[in-house]
């Protein structure tokens, strides 16, 4: 079956799930086509990931996994997206396969979120190598029992009745395929994408002959025992060296899940943004131009020397530490643009590590993550191009860019001040009563809004490049 025909079948699966009133996220092909082990007799089966209803979320219900059978006898395995992530955590190969399929149809509303899962497929498939081994080993034991309908010794796969005269080809072919998958991962160090479909021509033929039961029973049994026993050889080494989980990948999966659920709830309830209330915070800070994840900023602003860092990860961690030394969770930080050069997930990870609420005045580089649909904009209490606030009877204009004329800049009594970013450590001619909140001239830390106002009022010469020193 060619690619066009497979997608035609998948589209029918997608529509069938929708007709059954599920909130579908995506449908993906499962089975032999993903392993390059299909023939003219191969079925088109799929896995459909679905969203819970709003009532399910409130009540804590997980949609029960089930299998829908189409009139043509094709199968669709339905799974709640929350359960799917748990299966990925468990390294369940049945569900890992769909991360690498070439055949999937994604709900347009959630395309960017779901694609984020597929983009990190190798990371997900390597969350815990020992857990993956246990999953493969468990399936192999089950396949062995199913193929020969006997009781076998868990440790040695010993065969008790050699009078056997028939076997089931499909589970036995799965056994051999999974054993080779493990060899490809553990011995050959293939990527998961390559490992699931890398077979020699002779092995591929063997698997297909066994699957279609074209091999005599005793030969098939010997192959089954050989490949089943083969995987036990690596058990101790895997348990000792690879029994740990990649928590960063797990956290990233949950971040994507939370974003999907948030988007679903907002759409369901038509939630509008909350009105900003700055009076509730103990302290308000301003900062700008942190440039998290921007490798070139290390040399552009000589941050490697100033911060004594060697790479962007050290740079990011130093800025995070500086931030958290000053800010508490009862404070608000107004970020005057160019916060991060990372995309959605990495930027959310940074924001989750920083204390306090964050308000963003958008800069010229913030589109990198803001336009990434996976990014959860509720990480900020507000996002603005320009904002005016009144703080302790002081009127303030907030914008990423310094501008030549801001509101009431010439007012004699209680004049407005402007706080901005954008220019880093460069000297720049601006109107009086202007302050640059950029980290490059503020010791790479947020600065209290009270101090920023003082600096702005002190700055009468119209040059902004470093904080004004005053007694």
10-residue block means of pLDDT along the chain (471 residues)?
A: 93 97 97 93 95 88 95 96 97 98 96 95 96 94 84 45 67 95 92 95 95 91 90 76 88 94 83 76 97 96 95 97 97 98 95 97 96 91 92 92 82 84 86 92 96 90 56 31
Q: How far is CA 195 from the centre of its chain?
A: 23
Phi then psi for residue 430, to 5 deg, are: -135, 170
Give yes or no for a contact between 140 and 63, defined as CB atoms under 8 angstroms apart: no
3-state secondary structure of 384: strand
**How do the domains of the chain map onto residue ranges?**
3-109, 129-241, 273-464
Q: How far is CA 168 from the centre of its chain?
A: 40
Q: Read off the pTM.
A: 0.72
- Rounded to whole angstroms, the Cα distance separating 156 from 420 reads 70
- For β-strands 463-464 and 428-429, DSSP reports them as antiparallel
- Cα angle vertex 452, ends 447, 454, to 5°? 135
CA distances from 87 to 98, 121, 202 (A): 12, 13, 32
- Euclidean distance between CA atoms 278 and 333, whole angstroms: 10
Q: Which of 406, 471, 91 is nearest to 244 (CA)?
A: 91
Residue 44: the pLDDT is 95
Q: What is the C-alpha separation between 363 and 333, in angstroms, rounded?
A: 15
Residue 162 confidence (pLDDT): 43
Question: Angle at the Cα of 92 (from 91 to 95), degrees rounded to 5?
Answer: 115
Euclidean distance between CA atoms 337 and 333, whole angstroms: 12
Task: Give the end-to-end CA distance of the chain in Å, rounded to a whole number.
Answer: 80
Degrees to nearest 5, angle at CA 246 with 367 and 34: 85
Structure tokens at 216: 């005599």
In contact, 286 and 78? CB cutoff 8 Å: no
Q: Is 208 helix (H, G, I), strand (E, B) or coil?
A: helix
Q: Any idea of the CA torsion for 337, 343, 344, 345, to the nearest 10 degrees?
A: -120
CA distances from 262 to 105, 257, 334 (A): 22, 9, 23
Q: Where are the beta strands (DSSP E) in 180-254?
A: none
Do the beta carbons of residue 49 and residue 84 sit within 8 Å?
yes
Q: What span, in angstroms and rounded, lies between the C-alpha atoms of 136 and 208?
A: 20
For residues 185 and 191, give the distance between their C-alpha atoms in angstroms, rounded to a whole number: 7
Q: How many angstroms separate the CA atoms of 346 and 294, rounded?
A: 12
pLDDT at 411: 76
Percent of the chain as helix, strand, coil, to the nearest 5: 45, 15, 40
| Range 3-109 classified under CATH 3.30.460.10 | yes
- The strand pair at 284-287 and 447-448 is best described as antiparallel
Class of domain 273-464: alpha beta
Please state whether 289 falls in left (phi above 0), alpha (psi between -120 and 50) or beta: left
- What is the maximum alpha-carbon separation in the chain? 104
pLDDT at 81: 97
Q: In a 10 Å sphere around its CB, with 0-12 CB exposed, 13-18 middle and 19+ buried, how is residue 392 labelled?
A: exposed
What integer pLDDT is reported at residue 54 of this predicted model? Answer: 87
Instruction: Give backbone dihedrals phi and psi of 417, rounded to 5 degrees, phi first.
Output: -125, 155
What pLDDT shows up at residue 339? 98
Residues 6+ apart with CB under 8 A from 447: 285, 286, 287, 437, 467
Output the six-digit token pair for 333.
């930080």
Element (H, E) at 4: helix 3-19
- pLDDT at res. 410: 73
């Amino acid at each position: 079956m060619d690619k066009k025909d497979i997608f035609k079948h998948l589209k029918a699966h997608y529509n069938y799930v929708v007709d059954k009133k599920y909130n579908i996220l995506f449908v993906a092909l499962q089975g032999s086509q993903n392993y390059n082990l299909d023939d003219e007799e191969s079925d088109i089966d799929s896995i459909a990931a679905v969203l819970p209803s709003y009532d399910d979320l409130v009540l804590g219900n997980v949609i029960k996994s089930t299998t829908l059978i189409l009139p043509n006898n094709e199968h669709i395995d339905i799974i709640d997206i929350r359960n799917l992530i748990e299966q990925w955590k468990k390294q369940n190969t049945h569900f890992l396969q769909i991360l690498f399929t070439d055949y999937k149809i994604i709900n347009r509303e959630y395309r960017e979120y779901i694609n984020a899962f597929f983009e990190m497929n190798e990371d997900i498939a390597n969350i815990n190598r020992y857990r993956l081994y246990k999953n493969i080993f468990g399936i192999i034991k089950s396949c062995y029992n199913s193929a020969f309908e006997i009781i076998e010794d868990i440790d040695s796969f010993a065969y008790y009745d050699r009078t056997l005269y028939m076997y089931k080809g499909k589970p036995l072919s799965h056994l051999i395929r999974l054993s080779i998958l493990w060899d490809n991962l553990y011995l050959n160090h293939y990527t998961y994408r390559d490992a699931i479909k890398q077979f020699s021509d002779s092995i591929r033929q063997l698997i297909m002959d066994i699957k279609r039961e074209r091999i005599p029973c005793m030969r098939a049994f010997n192959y089954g025992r050989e490949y089943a026993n083969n995987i036990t050889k690596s058990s101790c080494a895997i348990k000792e060296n690879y029994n740990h989980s990649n928590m960063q990948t797990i956290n990233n999966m949950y971040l994507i899940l939370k974003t999907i659920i948030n988007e679903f709830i907002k759409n369901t309830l038509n939630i509008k943004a909350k009105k900003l209330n700055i009076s509730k915070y103990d302290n308000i800070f301003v900062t700008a131009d942190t440039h998290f994840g921007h490798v070139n900023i290390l040399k552009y602003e000589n941050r490697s020397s100033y911060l004594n860092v060697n790479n962007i990860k050290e740079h990011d961690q130093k800025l995070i530490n500086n931030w958290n030394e000053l800010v508490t969770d009862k404070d608000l930080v107004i970020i005057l643009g160019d916060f991060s050069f990372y995309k959605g997930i990495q930027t959310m990870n940074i924001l989750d590590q920083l204390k306090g609420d964050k308000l963003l005045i958008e800069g010229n580089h913030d589109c990198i993550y803001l336009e990434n649909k996976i990014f959860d904009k509720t990480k900020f209490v507000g996002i603005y191009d320009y904002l005016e606030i009144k703080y302790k009877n002081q009127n303030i204009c907030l914008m990423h860019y310094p501008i030549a004329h801001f509101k009431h800049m010439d007012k004699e009594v209680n004049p407005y001040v402007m706080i901005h970013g954008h220019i880093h450590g460069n000297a720049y001619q601006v109107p009086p009563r202007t302050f640059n909140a950029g980290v490059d001239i503020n010791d790479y830390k947020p600065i209290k809004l009270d101090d920023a106002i003082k600096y702005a009022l002190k700055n009468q010469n119209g040059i902004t490049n470093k904080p004004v020193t005053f007694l």
